[in-house]
């Protein structure tokens, strides 16, 4: 009996302990939950007295509170993502490349330009390697910069720099910036060379005239005097050419293309060919141009006829000068179709099989007084302004001039003029009928 009582009492005691343990466990879980909720709410971890009790009311309250927190978190994440996307897009608009790394050196942000530069595997890979090195030392707290020059062509000058990113002397990582300084360096070169070349071009003939006239004053021999006078004439002619071209260039620059008229291109090419036929004959070069029966003969441009004549003339003049005897200079005109619409542009092309232009000079030949080969240019009697005039004429008409060249293969200049749809008729060009002004002696 007693034994039975003891057993029942023991069982009761065990059950009581179990219930107590369970209640305790639930209470402690509830307490933890309460603490979490308070932390989210930004309050102290310690539950207020009485709140941590297992209580259905407070549980419901907490659950709805957690639900509202979940909504807020989702909204915040969404806003953060949009913020990040906005920053990314804004960074992509920057004219410089930007890379941000954390304190371990792992990239955490970069813009499109930086990605492009960092993923290059040609010579541009040197920029990427430089950035990696500078970021390394910037993470150690040392800001550094470096200029990477790439030969090309086209030549590139990239300036890279890296700075530590720290908040209250606590290192957070580093940022690198890469800036393309090519254009700035080029403009500096152009400015420097322009002044030097201009004074050289003007001084040389003027100095020669001074010297020749001095000699002339002391010379009695008639034959020598005649030769000196002839030389003075040549040098004076040279100065006159330069001044003419300078005036022409400034007029083209100032005027724009005021006198727009309908210009039939093929007859204009004929006129140029006529003008330079003597020149071509001297160099034993033949000028090939489309004849009046060619399909391109219908092409008409709205342009300043005088300027156009001058631009194409300058190109033909150059082409003849730098061609080998017996070779051809080809003049063509064609509409360049832009999609399936009416042609948006007209291309006037002057092509030769001459000596070509070195690859690293092609950017610079349009500069005033720029000479590829100083010695040869003087011998051929150019002023160094011809191509500058060509570029300005084309710019005045809203077009562009492009140049394809290879040394020893030839040079092709393309003058591309935009046209309104109605200005061009006869848009199909077969290019079959050509008339050749064979100018051999």
Partner 1 sequence: MTEEVRTEFHQLMEEVRADLVQMGGMVAEGVSAVTAALLAGDIASADQIITADDELDLLSLEAEEKCVQLLALQQPVAVDLRAILTDLRMISEIERSGDLVTNIAKAVVRLLGAELVPRVRGLLDRMREQAVRLTAMAMDAYADRDAGLAAVLDEIDDVLDDLHGQYLDAVFASQNAGHIDTQQAVQLAVVGRFYERIGDHAVNIAQRVEFLVTGQLPEHIGANRARARREQDEM
Please tell me whether residue 408 binds partner 1 under the rule CB under 8 A.
Answer: yes
In angstroms, the CA 265 to CA 310 distance is: 13
Helix (H) or strand (E) holding 349: strand 345-352
Among 406, 425, 432, 433, binds partner 1 (CB under 8 A): 406
Please tell me whether residue 407 binds partner 1 under the rule CB under 8 A.
Answer: yes
CB of 356 to partner 1, least distance (A): 6
Please tell me whether residue 151 binds partner 1 under the rule CB under 8 A.
Answer: yes
Q: Using the minimum distance from each CB to partner 1, give the nearer residue, 51 or 103.
A: 103
Give the residue among 363, 264, 364, 268 at the shortest CA–CA distance from 316. Answer: 268
Please tell me whether residue 358 binds partner 1 under the rule CB under 8 A.
Answer: yes
In angstroms, the CA 226 to CA 353 distance is: 39
Among 80, 90, 125, 226, binds partner 1 (CB under 8 A): 125
User: Over the range 46-67, which residues count as b (16 or more CB within 10 Å of their CB) and which as e?
Assistant: ebeeebbeeeeebeeebeeeee
Dihedral sign for Cα 225, 229, 232, 238, please: negative
In angstroms, the CA 99 to CA 120 distance is: 15
- 8 A C-beta contact, residue 280 and residue 290: no
Give SS3 for 174: strand
Angle at which helix 2-40 crosses helix 56-92, to 10 degrees, equals 30
Please tell me whether residue 356 binds partner 1 under the rule CB under 8 A.
Answer: yes
In angstroms, the CA 37 to CA 307 distance is: 81
User: How far is residue 97 CA from its own chain's centroid?
Assistant: 14
Q: Are strands 328-336 and 286-290 parallel, antiparallel or unpaired?
A: parallel
Among 33, 69, 126, 403, binds partner 1 (CB under 8 A): 126
Please tell me whether residue 132 binds partner 1 under the rule CB under 8 A.
Answer: yes
Q: Using the minimum distance from each CB to partner 1, give the nearer residue, 343 or 356.
A: 356
Our CA dihedral for 112, 116, 119, 124, rounded to 10 degrees, sits at: -140
CB of 408 to partner 1, least distance (A): 3
CB of 236 to partner 1, least distance (A): 33
Please tell me whether residue 376 binds partner 1 under the rule CB under 8 A.
Answer: no
CB of 358 to partner 1, least distance (A): 6
Alpha helices per DSSP H over 326-407: 374-380, 386-396
- Three-class SS string for 314-343? HHHHHHHHCCCCCCEEEEEEEEECCCCCCC
Among 90, 409, 426, 440, binds partner 1 (CB under 8 A): 409
CB of 108 to partner 1, least distance (A): 17
Q: Which one of the spans 121-129, 180-188, 203-211, 264-272 is the region binding partner 1 (CB under 8 A)?
A: 121-129
Among 6, 75, 243, 359, binds partner 1 (CB under 8 A): 359
CB of 371 to partner 1, least distance (A): 14
Q: Using the minimum distance from each CB to partner 1, give the nearer residue, 130 or 384.
A: 130
Q: Using the minimum distance from each CB to partner 1, give the nearer residue, 101 or 299.
A: 101
Give the residue among 164, 94, 158, 154 at the shortest CA–CA distance from 130. Answer: 158
Dihedral sign for Cα 353, 355, 359, 365, please: negative
CB of 259 to partner 1, least distance (A): 40
CB of 409 to partner 1, least distance (A): 5
Contact pattern for partner 1 over residues 200 through 239, marking x by CB under 8 A: ----------------------------------------
Among 129, 143, 166, 243, binds partner 1 (CB under 8 A): 129
Q: Which one of the spans 149-157, 203-211, 295-303, 430-438 is the region binding partner 1 (CB under 8 A)?
A: 149-157
Among 124, 198, 344, 403, binds partner 1 (CB under 8 A): 124
CB of 128 to partner 1, least distance (A): 7
Contact set with partner 1 (CB under 8 A): 120-126, 128-129, 132, 150-153, 354-356, 358-360, 406-409
């Amino acid at each position: 009996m007693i034994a039975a009582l003891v057993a029942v009492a023991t069982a009761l005691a065990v059950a009581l302990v179990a219930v107590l343990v369970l209640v305790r466990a639930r209470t402690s879980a509830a307490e933890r939950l309460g603490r979490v909720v308070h932390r989210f709410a930004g309050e102290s971890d310690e539950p207020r007295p009485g709140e941590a009790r297992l209580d259905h009311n407070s549980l419901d309250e907490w659950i709805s509170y957690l639900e509202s927190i979940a909504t807020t978190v989702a909204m915040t994440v969404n806003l953060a993502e949009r913020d990040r996307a906005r920053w990314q897009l804004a960074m992509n608009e920057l004219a410089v490349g930007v890379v941000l790394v954390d304190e371990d050196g792992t990239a955490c942000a970069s813009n499109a330009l930086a990605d492009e530069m960092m993923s290059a595997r040609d010579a541009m890979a040197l920029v990427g390697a430089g950035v990696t090195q500078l970021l390394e030392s910037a993470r150690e707290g040392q800001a550094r910069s470096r200029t990477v020059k790439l030969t090309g062509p086209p030549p590139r000058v990239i300036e890279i720099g890296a700075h530590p990113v720290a908040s209250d002397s606590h290192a957070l990582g580093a940022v690198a910036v890469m800036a393309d300084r090519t254009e700035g360096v080029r403009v500096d070169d152009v400015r420097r060379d322009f002044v030097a070349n201009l004074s050289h071009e003007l001084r040389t003939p003027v100095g020669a005239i001074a010297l020749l006239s001095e000699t002339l004053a002391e010379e009695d021999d008639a034959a020598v005097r005649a030769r000196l006078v002839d030389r003075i004439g040549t040098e004076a002619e040279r100065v006159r050419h330069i001044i003419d071209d300078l005036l022409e260039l400034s007029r083209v620059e100032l005027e724009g293309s005021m006198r727009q008229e309908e210009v039939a291109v093929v007859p204009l090419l004929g006129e140029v060919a006529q003008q330079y036929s003597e020149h071509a004959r001297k160099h034993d070069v033949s000028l090939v141009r489309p004849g009046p029966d060619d399909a391109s003969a219908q092409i008409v441009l709205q342009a300043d006829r005088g300027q156009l004549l001058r631009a194409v003339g300058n190109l033909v003049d150059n082409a003849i000068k730098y061609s080998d005897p017996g070779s051809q200079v080809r003049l063509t005109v064609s509409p360049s179709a832009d999609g399936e619409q009416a042609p948006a542009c007209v291309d006037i092309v002057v092509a030769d099989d001459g000596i070509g232009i070195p690859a690293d000079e092609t950017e610079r030949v349009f500069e005033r007084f720029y000479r590829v080969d100083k010695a040869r240019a003087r011998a051929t009697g150019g002023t160094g302004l011809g191509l500058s005039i060509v570029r300005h004429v084309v710019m005045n008409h809203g077009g562009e001039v492009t140049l394809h060249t290879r040394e020893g293969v030839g040079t092709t200049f393309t003058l591309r003029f935009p046209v309104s749809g109605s200005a061009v008729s006869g848009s199909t060009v077969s290019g079959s009928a050509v008339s050749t002004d064979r100018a051999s002696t």
